[in-house]
Amino acid sequence: MSCVTESIPMPADVVRQPASGSRLRLLSYNIQVGIATQRPRHYLTNSWRHIIPHPGRFNNLDHIAHLLHDYDIVGLQEVDAGSLRSNFINLTEYLADKAGFPFWHHRVNRRLGKFARHATGLLSRIRPAKVAEQRLPGLIPGRGFTAALYGQTEEPLVVFNIHLALSRRVRLEQISYLADLVNQYPHVILMGDMNCQPDSPELAYLFRRTRLREPADRFHTFPSWQPNRNIDHILVTPELEVREARVLRHAYSDHLPISMELTVPDSVFLHR
């Protein structure tokens, strides 16, 4: 298992890789640091679990790892990079090890002393040619993205993992920034907790500015116990043929995960 830690400016050259199949299984999951929220009152009664350890966290994470095992590329939001609440264990690395992913990368968004290291994580069974991470605009430093580049220089596949801000104004700034990057690549997957729905001004702006599309109209992912909001997304450019997309009933967080199976064009070479 290897942590891919290289940070590079974007866009970047991508090394040609040999072909090894064109079907990809994707998952995006906000795991809420392994806290299985099942009722609104749990935000209050379980709030202490966000800052100190609790015995059930790793049991929940093991269930999540079992789910992740079936996928090729996984974007995780609300993980911890190793602090008091996670017993100083990097949760991205923990899940990569448990689910058998050879490549993983985490990006720390915010540090709260020894109590929390808020992060996002990317797990991959396919060797990325390059990995980049950058900060996104916002009043509070921390929000950012990770991008993994797969394939060759002419037609790479680029997978973005994001967790956007709670403020609509800031989300619009972040999406504008992302749109400029997305438009530099022919094949893009943008996934994560975007904190906005498909008919929001933010995503309407993104769809106008880029070739990204949402494979289905409604993926209700939040809250996990009674999902009525579509704020988690996997967006793709048109040449990526979506074979299946669905929400999974996997209630080990306050979000439900989204899964997708797609086919990449023959011009994209992947290396496993």
pLDDT 10s digits, 184-225:
999 999 999 999 999 999 999 999 999 999 987 678 999 999
pTM passes above 0.85: yes
Q: Give long-range contacts, CB 8 A cutoff, 24+ apart: 238-247.
A: 238/211, 238/213, 239/186, 239/187, 239/264, 239/265, 240/187, 240/189, 240/264, 240/265, 242/215, 243/23, 245/215, 245/216, 245/219, 246/219, 247/219, 247/220, 247/221
Q: How do residues 19-72 score in pLDDT, each as one tens digit? A: 344 899 999 999 998 888 665 544 455 654 556 668 788 999 999 999 999 999
Kindly indicate the confidence band of residue 7, based on its pLDDT and cuts at 50, 70 and 90.
very low
Radius of gyration of the chain (CA): 17
Kindly indicate the confidence band of residue 272, based on its pLDDT and cuts at 50, 70 and 90.
low
Both structure tokens of 91? 């949760």
pLDDT of 203 reads: 97
Could you list the beta-strand ranges (E) of the chain: 2-3, 23-30, 73-80, 103-112, 116-124, 130-135, 144-150, 157-163, 187-193, 232-236, 241-247, 258-263
Pairing status of strand 23-30 against strand 258-263: antiparallel
pLDDT of 10 reads: 36
Model confidence at 141: pLDDT above 50: yes
Of 138 and 139, more confident = 138
Model confidence at 8: pLDDT above 70: no
CATH architecture of the domain with residue range 2-263: 4-Layer Sandwich (3.60)
Strand partners, 158: 149, 188
- Please, which residues have CB within 8 angstroms of residue 203's CB and are 6 or more apart in sequence? 175, 194, 196, 197, 214, 233
Share of the chain above pLDDT 90, in %: 67
